[in-house]
Amino acid sequence: AAMRHLPYFCRGEVVKGFGRGSKELGIPTANFSEQVVESFPSDMSTGIYYGWACVGNGDVHKMVLSIGWNPFYKNIKKSVETHIIHTFKDDFYGEILSIVITGYIRPEKNFDSVEALISAIQEDIEEAKRQLDLPEHLKLKEDNFFHLPEGKTVNNH
Ligand code: ADP
Ligand code: MG
């Protein structure tokens, strides 16, 4: 169920999350709106994925993404959050984020401590970086999807 829909193309506005303090952990996650999340296949597994991301018509960067249960909606709705593996000068709330999800890393997990959570995410990031250098994932970085007009919302290819 995790891999069936991949590669998965998605584009939407970056909205305010629910302040879990991702940025304070050094791992900010750009959240998609509820509407974009609802457009995801309902049988796409929660968990950690990786792929490519681009803000507005900027450069395409590696990313890790979580599809998780959204605590703000008492875990009956999902959230989709993208951590772009790049250091940005400024926040980009309100901008259009384009992503292609190319691979799956692991299911969602609970961690006993913030330290354990951070080190798991660091491992996810290293895994994503390695996988994305392989030809089958690297080729999607150059996909035409990233060069389509910004305003156009495309949730599937
Ligand atoms: P929120 O709860 O509002 O999502 P976060 O702490 O997760 O807050 O921070 C997310 C915001 O940080 C994004 O919406 C974006 O504007 C900004 N940001 C800066 N750098 C990055 C990055 N490398 N990846 C994702 N978001 C980033
Ligand atoms: Mg976030």
Q: Which of 13, 24, 38, 81 is catalytic?
A: 81
Q: What's residue 157's pLDDT?
A: 43
Q: What's residue 125's pLDDT?
A: 98
Does residue 15's CB lie within 6 angstroms of at least one atom of ligand 1? no
Sorted by where each begins, the domain ranges of the chain are 8-143
Percent helix, percent strand, percent coil in the chain, to nearest 5:
25, 30, 45
pLDDT tens for each residue of 20-60? 768 888 899 999 999 999 999 999 999 999 999 999 999 99
Does residue 23's CB lie within 6 angstroms of at least one atom of ligand 1? yes
Q: What is the CA radius of gyration of the chain?
A: 14
Residue 94 burial (CB < 10 Å; 0-12/13-18/19+)? exposed
Among residues 71, 70, 79, the alpha carbon closest in space to that of 32 is found at 79
Confidence of residue 149 (pLDDT cuts 50, 70, 90): low
The token pair at 49 is: 């994925």
Report DSSP state, residue 33: P
- pTM for the whole thing? 0.93
pLDDT tens for each residue of 75-130? 888 999 999 999 999 999 999 999 999 999 999 998 898 899 999 999 999 999 99
